[in-house]
Amino acid sequence: MKSKNSAKKIFISVILFSFVFVAAAQKPPMKYGKVDQADLDMKVYSPDSSASAVLLCNYGYFDSNNMQFVHQMRIKILKEEGKIRGNFSVPAAEKTSVKGQTVNLENGVPVITKLNKDGIFIERVTKDVYHARVAMPNVKVGSVLDIEFYYQGLPSFWSFQDTYPIRWSELILEQSTYFSFRKNFVGYTALSEGTDDRWVAKNVPAFKTEPYINNYENYLTRFNIELSSIHIPGYLYKDYATTWEAVAKTLRESDDFGARINSISFFLNALEKEIKEKTTVPEERMEKAYEAIKKIKWNDEESIWPTNTGLNYALNKKIGNVADVNLTLVLLLRKLDLDANPVVLSTRSNGILPPFSVSLDKLNYVIADVVIGDKTYLLDATEENLPLGMLPERTINGRGLVIKNEGQDWIDLNPTKKDKSVSMLNLKLSPDGTMKGEWNLSYFDYGALEKRISYKKFNSQDDYLKSTESKYIGMSIENYAIEGIDTIQQTLKETMSVVLKNKATKANNQLYISPILLDKYSENPFKAEERVYPVDFVTPIERTQMFYLELPDGYSIEQLPKNIKMTLPENTASFQMLSTVNENTVQVLFKLSINKSVFYQAEYLDLKTFFDELVKKQSEMLIIKKV
């Protein structure tokens, strides 16, 4: 069977010598090297005076006669922070011709600085997808950047919207007798013009990101483009991912995927023998295999394709990309007589898999699926701090495709655990407002994972404690202990003695203290009156805070925060506060539960109101007076 790459090469070599009728193209909206004086003189982009840069023109034209794509861009830099737009990445091909120039006005005269080869880097994103990374020279406030790309084939996507405004974006894709392609439209901004082969967006406002949003690129107005099929009579007929069944078949039959997990794999014999001798229990075999493969260090590369050196090389050298790690895991699990299959997916940073569009190139990550009895486990051995049964946040992104020896299936990539923590402050108050006592914290599931990762980034425990003290101004820490930092299946616990200053406000003979002392929402993250995009918390969240305060002699309670419980419809979120007094000790219990990961637009106003009330409640004061 010919590989996908070889088929594409045959197609390109044949099509270059073929004659295909080409309709007369529209006049291009820009010409490389011909910058208008008005654009050079521009100081402010009038439709958006806050813009630090503007994409003046983004033009793409696919010539089906020569199987060639030309991409032209012109960018105006308006403010200092807009200079970052001089470094960018766009879809490209393995062999891409790039030319560019930066134009600056100096004493009223245009001065041109050419882009040289050192500023161009072609990077391979997936097996068949490339991007061109460009660093433009001499970028200043007022610069106009002019860039032109040529390459064989189609871009993997075309964006009509970005995080800065676009004055004009135009895409022309000529039809061909010999091949077909799919373009899946996503986004929330309507196009200005559209025909069968030409689409234009004018004066597109900058995409404004919002709190708790999945990868913003999921919501940009754009086309995702992929070659569907090639049909050259007498030479070649080839389908590319016309259905998800075809995708699964391609992967199953690929030497770089299916063959790797169905090999004899002598290099795993020692591990297989060791685990089988230790246990016959399927769940225990799975856990031991999971921990054994974790010894292969992930090199941070995301791909469904293993490195060319093979799985045995990654195991021997103890390093590899995600496919090296998790396909080795699948292979070992199968050798241990477990029902294991790879699951291919798109990570959060790569974007959600379009529900109605088939795309092999959109898949950039692989994990393992294991079925034992009536239970299904999803495993990713790339994270040393990740307990069995949890996925890293980057993979919690819609759904994944399970590639079986026969057939395929979809599986939801939903979190099965919460980001959960319990905080208990047991303090004694002094008349000057200083509070001393114990602070105990417990972290569970994703809360524990995040804490383990952050703690291990510090060079020493002293560095970690200094960072914590700087986070909570006025707090000093003594007698610190941490438990469970390396036992990842257990609760992570921190205990410490603390002294808190400047946390009580004195007024006359009264002290004002917030019982939610250390971790609270000081403002509502949801300020917009309307929400265009879903609110994505990634995982459910649970925060429990217990505050115990012993009063000094001669002091009593003037006012307690009022007890409250607020719940959203269907218990999707809730918070409660309960305050009591027991002799000379005040007790305040606060609990926040966000019981699902994603809230959609119709739920936004309720969620916004919920957080309004949450912020108000967490700002309420405990008032203590001197008797």
Mean pLDDT of 249-257: 91
Range of the domain at 274: 244-412
Spatial CA neighbour of 57 closest among 41, 84, 76: 76
User: Do residues 207 and 266 share a domain?
Assistant: no
User: How confident is the model over 444-497, as pLDDT tens digits?
Assistant: 999 999 999 999 999 999 999 999 999 998 999 999 999 999 999 999 999 999
What is the structure's pLDDT at 545?
A: 97
d(CA 252, CA 343): 12
Domain assignment present for 368: yes
Give residue 239's pLDDT: 67
CATH number for the domain including 524? 2.60.120.1130
Percentage of the residues of the chain whose pLDDT score is greater than 90: 73
CA 472 to chain centre: 28
Q: What is the pLDDT of residue 83?
A: 96
Helices and strands, number each (H, E), in the chain:
11, 36
Same domain, 441 and 570: yes
Tally the C-alpha atoms within 13 A of residue 357's C-alpha that lie toward its C-beta.
Answer: 19
Tens digit of each residue's pLDDT (9 = 90 or more) over 204-216 = 999 988 899 988 8
> pLDDT tens digit string along 532-578?
889 999 999 999 999 999 999 999 999 999 999 999 999 999 999 99
Query: Distance between CA 112 and CA 102 in Å, rounded?
Result: 6
Chain segment 508-531, per-residue pLDDT in tens:
889 999 999 888 899 999 999 998
4 close to 128: Cβ distance less than 8 angstroms: yes
Burial of 308 (0-12, 13-18, 19+ CB in 10 A): exposed
600: left (phi over 0), alpha (psi -120 to 50) or beta: beta
* pLDDT, tens digit, 9 for 90 and up, residues 161-200: 999 999 999 999 998 877 788 888 888 889 999 998 999 9
Determine the Cα–Cα distance for residues 21 and 275; give it in Å rounded to an integer: 64
Reply yes or no on whether the pLDDT at 23 is more than 60: no
- Give 395-407 pLDDT, tens digit per residue: 999 999 999 999 9
Please state, in angstroms and as integers, the Cα–Cα distance from residue 309 to each residue in 58, 314, 328, following that order: 40, 8, 13
| Angle of the 269-278 helix axis to the 282-293 helix axis, nearest 10 | 140
- Residues 453 and 598 occupy one common structural domain: yes
pLDDT at residue 241, as a whole number: 60
By the 10 Å C-beta count (0-12 exposed, 13-18 middle, 19+ buried), 135 is classed as middle
383 and 482 together in one domain: no
**CA–CA dist 148, 452 (Å, integer):** 46
Q: What is the pLDDT of residue 557?
A: 92
Residue type, 13: S
In a domain, 124, yes or no: yes
For residues 181, 182, 187 and 191, what is the CA-based torsion angle, rounded to 10 degrees?
60
What are φ and ψ of residue 577, in 5° steps?
A: -135, 130
Can you give the CATH number for the domain in which 68 is found? 2.60.40.3140
Q: Return the pLDDT at 11.
A: 43
The predicted-structure confidence for 104-118, as pLDDT tens digits, reads as follows 999 999 999 999 999
Is 314 within a domain? yes
How far apart, in whole angstroms, are the C-alpha atoms of residue 194 and residue 434? Answer: 67
Per-residue model confidence (pLDDT) at position 355: 67
| Mean pLDDT on 312-319 | 90
Residue 492 lies in a domain: yes
**Rounded mean pLDDT of 334-338?**
95
Among residues 451, 156, 333, 265, the alpha carbon closest in space to that of 343 is found at 333
Give the model confidence (pLDDT) of 42-98 as tens digits.
Answer: 999 999 999 999 999 999 999 988 889 999 999 999 999 999 999 999 989 889 999
Does 445 share its domain with 579? yes
Indicate if 185 and 325 belong to the same structural domain: no
Who has greater pLDDT, 65 or 134? 134
Amino acid 46: pLDDT: 96
R_g over Cα of the chain: 29
Percentages helix, strand, coil for the chain, rounded to the nearest 5?
Answer: 20, 40, 40
How far is residue 620 from each of residues 51, 474, 526, 588, 608, measured CA to CA in Å? 39, 20, 20, 12, 19
C-alpha 338 chain-centroid distance: 31
- 567, exposed or middle or buried, with CB in 10 Å at 0-12, 13-18, 19+? middle
Residue 5: its H or E element? helix 4-15
Write the single-letter amino acid at 26. Answer: Q
pLDDT for residue 26 is more than 60: yes
Burial bucket for residue 507 (CB in 10 Å: 0-12, 13-18, 19+): exposed
346-389 per-position pLDDT tens digit: 999 888 887 667 888 889 999 999 999 999 999 999 999 999 98
Q: Which residue has the higher pLDDT, 266 or 323?
A: 323
Q: pTM here?
A: 0.84
Non-local (6+) Cβ contacts of 169 within 8 A are 55, 57, 58, 59, 159, 160, 161, 200, 201, 202, 204
Taking residue 535's Cβ as centre, other Cβ atoms within 10 Å add up to 22
Contact indicator for 316, 309 with CB cutoff of 8 Å: no
Q: How many CB atoms lie within 10 A of CB 131?
A: 19
Average pLDDT over residues 3-14: 44
Tell me the C-alpha distance between 432 and 265, whole Å.
71
Least confident of 19-28, 221-230, 335-344, 579-588: 19-28
Residues 314 and 394 in one domain: yes
Residue 237 maps to a domain: no
Q: Are residues 170 and 296 in the same domain?
A: no
Within a domain: residue 224?
Answer: yes
CATH at residue 325: 3.10.620.30
| Number of domains into which the chain is organized | 3
User: Are residue 131 and residue 224 in the same domain, yes or no?
Assistant: yes
Domain end among 182, 210, 232 = 232
- Examine residue 238 and state whether it is found in any structural domain, yes or no: no
The answer to whether residue 300 is domain-embedded is yes
Positive/negative CA dihedral, 260, 262, 265, 271: positive
Dihedral angle at the C-alpha atoms of 81, 86, 91, 97, nearest 10 degrees?
A: 180
**Residue 525: CB partners within 8 Å, gap ≥ 6?**
211, 212, 611
Most confident of 2-11, 78-87, 125-134, 528-537: 78-87
Does residue 285 share a domain with residue 403?
Answer: yes
Last residue of a domain, one of 232, 264, 286: 232
Domain boundary residue among 185, 208, 232?
Answer: 232
Residues 111 and 155 occupy one common structural domain? yes
pLDDT band at 9 (very low <50, low <70, confident <90, very high): very low
**Same domain flag for 518 and 617:** yes
**Among candidates 321, 308, 484, 326, which has minimal Cα distance to 403?**
326
Residue 1 has pLDDT above 60, yes or no: no
Question: C-alpha dihedral over 292, 295, 296, 298, to 10 degrees?
Answer: 120
